[in-house]
Amino acid sequence: EAERDGFTGKMAIHPAQVPVINAAFTPSAEAVKHSLAIVQAFEAAGNPGVVGIGGKMYDRPHLRLAERLLARARAAGI
């Protein structure tokens, strides 16, 4: 739930919790692929206000979310 609500981490009270927390907050390969497709679509179209991918429309807030997810993936070493 925390990741869905926009949180990017959590405090731990025991070192054994760290791997579980990291797994919960590390973006999945599928999410990285989708975010990369959004960023690339905006770049290829000259950064318009909206792009279409697979019959769905994505606007600037989606682009910002994709960029943030990719930054988290890079920080996690993905």
The residue type of 37 is A
Read off the pLDDT of residues 10-23 as tens digits, 9 standing for 90 and up: 999 999 999 999 99
Within 8 A by CB and 6+ apart from 10, the residues are 2, 21, 24, 25
pLDDT digits (tens, 9 = 90+) for 5-64: 888 889 999 999 999 999 988 999 999 999 999 999 999 999 999 999 999 999 999 999
Angle between helices 29-44 and 60-75 (to 10 degrees): 130
pTM: 0.82
